[in-house]
Amino acid sequence: MPFAQPLEKGPLSMRQLLSLNMRPFFSKRVLITCATLSVLSLLFHHAHYLRESELLISSEVELSPAPVSGPDAGQNYEGRGLFRPIWVDGYDNNGIPGGEYLGRNLSCESLGHSAEIGVQESFFLHDNFVEIAGELDSHPMVDYVPSLAKFADGAFSLQQLLASSWDRLATACVWMPDHGVHLCVSRIIFHPGGRRDRCRISFLRGQIYSEDWVHLDRYKLKWKGQEIVFPKVFDTDTEFKLGGQLYGPEDARIIIEEGVDDAEPVVVFNMITTHSDWKRAMWIFRPFSEQSHILTVRGTERPKKEKNWAPFFVRELEGASNSTSERQPSTHIHFIWRFEPLTVLKCQLSTGMCDVVFEQAVLPALSSQHDDHDGSLRGGTQLVPVPLSTKKTKSKSRFGSPNVQAFVSFPRTHVERAGGCRQAVYRPELAVLVTNTTHFYLTYASEALDFSEGMVMDANALADPCGKGRIMITNSIARWDLEGRDSNGQQMDVMTLSLSVDDATVQVLRVAGIWDLLRGLPSLARYFSQDKVQHIDGFPPVNDVEDEHADLLSPFDRYERANAVGWDVRACLEESAIRYVNSHVDATKQAQEKAKAEEKKKAEEEARKKKAEEEKKKTEEEAKKKAEEETKQAEAKKLQEQKALEEKKKALALENKDKDTTAQDPKQAADPKASDEQKKKLEDKVVPEAGV
């Protein structure tokens, strides 16, 4: 990777006012713009953050932890709207595999499970890019020179400059119960050329939101004697070279350890640095102590790109017998490294050194065949432990024995070449992992989720999985409130997710009934039967085989069976994701064909009507023309008859005149022959004229 400048590293030097680095275009116009920008920053700050001033807390007020709720208290989650019921289809691990040994191939239908959950329409989180640009303006990589070419005739648009240079992606959040607030981390990208895929550098920004998702500006978080003010851009030990690109943290995920007092969250992201020879490597970062460590898997060669690791905390067996002692922070964090085969890492939080502690291997005799496809399951959110009860307890027994731990998460499928799409399609799924601290397997996975029309995506986006509806990713389980309330005061468990659509939005979605869904899974019935911290009979907690395959499966222990079916659960999930894309593409094509047919039918009907109208008009015009011709002929005939009558009258008058003359001339009267000749001449004269 060529670079023009030497390596730069170190903490960021931040300034609050935006000076706009436009070297070498520094001029009076830029100075005026800077002053304008400072004013706009204040105005935007007032309009954007203080629109709910009675809910926000000023920088001069010290914030105390949220008050402890009474036994009947709970947040009313229907204040933003009702939850729409949707059905979730998935695959539950019954511990009964297929394979050559049993002489059958396991069908996904045999693992089928359906349940109903509730979904509330998502809402959006926004950010103040004027404030962000001001805080990061002094960074050496922030230079707006390439963007100036976009402003013609000397015109300068601040709004256009910021919109074409900054974006916010992949916001992940956690609920901090000791503080009563949400901590969210976002990737802030600087792309002065206007294209997000040509990001110059990324930054990690932290923000605090209230329980009701109101942004808390200038929030002072007190942690172990420190006072940390949010929002802020974290110092992540980013390395960069002037002239290069794609530096800084990307795809951040955040997790907090359950049951640990005043726990410090862990942020996980990938980044390129000299520590990994400029390969994209995974890092962990503590946002309060600001400690960073690159993650290194012992005994393996680092690949060119590391990403999509799903973090979770496993409760160790040591000290599990004392259920009332205060739980200490873990010294290690686990990751699902990959889902096929299921591989789990255990990493030291203090050093970043990781070991592969589990890699799935299915006995060939219990392996079923699945379709070859271009779909794969990848990390999405963090994994959070599944509680045994929705009621609070002072002991650690809420999560049962460390010998049987269950975790829920929302990974995502990456589906390529399905439905004729030229780019990969991403959809989240609900998944449950079970472990005894040394062995792991998938016990449940849903089919692809889109959460119903209008909840996250509109109808047009859902109908276009190859286009604007291509990417839906869950970035975090922000909170799982097991003691929420509906508008009637009835208890409901509500899980809050942060999502992004098309890598362009930050949305918050609430889902009700996840705990009820898990509680109803046959594969977790024995897990939920725990009532205190103790060793339960056997791992994993799958049911014994009682059908015609019981004798054949007797040589295999429960884990071997559950592990084999866990492989099938993942494969069935991936196959269903491909069907999801194909079905939506087919439905879209059918809708398009139907629309074309209706449009064609409409056009033909309009053409028929137009032709009929033209023919009718033509007939009417011909009839009118004929009537006019007949009228004209009748008038001409009438005129001729009138003329003939007048000529006849003239002839008769002339005849009468001749008679009078004859009567006066006896000579003429004596000559009747002459009189007859004269009469004949008159008649011959009248007849031709009448025929004209």
Average pLDDT (216-233) is 95
pLDDT at 496: 98
Give tens-digit pLDDT for 476-508. 999 999 999 998 999 999 999 999 999 889 999
pLDDT at 552: 80
Task: Pick the closest to residue 324 from 256, 398, 257 (CA basis).
Answer: 398
For residue 681, being part of any structural domain is answered with no
Quick one: residue 493, left, alpha or beta (phi over 0 = left, psi -120 to 50 = alpha)? beta
Q: Are 111 and 567 in contact (CB under 8 A)?
A: no
For residue 238, being part of any structural domain is answered with yes
Domain that holds residue 162: 1-56+125-250
For residue 305, being part of any structural domain is answered with no
H helical segments located in 390-522: 459-462, 514-519
Strands 353-359 and 296-297: parallel
Query: Is 0.85 topped by the overall pTM?
Result: no
For residue 335, being part of any structural domain is answered with no
pLDDT at 673: 59
For the chain, how many structural domains are there in total? Answer: 1
Give tens-digit pLDDT for 251-310. 999 999 998 999 999 999 999 999 999 999 999 999 999 999 999 999 999 999 999 999
Strongest mean pLDDT among 143-147, 552-556, 676-680: 552-556
Average pLDDT (440-445) is 98
For residue 460, being part of any structural domain is answered with no
For residue 280, being part of any structural domain is answered with no
Give tens-digit pLDDT for 330-382. 999 999 999 999 999 999 999 999 999 999 999 999 999 998 778 899 999 99
For residue 237, being part of any structural domain is answered with yes
For residue 70, being part of any structural domain is answered with no
Q: Are 120 and 111 in contact (CB under 8 A)?
A: no
Strongest mean pLDDT among 84-93, 237-246, 463-472: 84-93
Q: Are 268 and 254 in contact (CB under 8 A)?
A: yes
Report the distance separating Cα 295 and Cα 519, nearest Å: 35
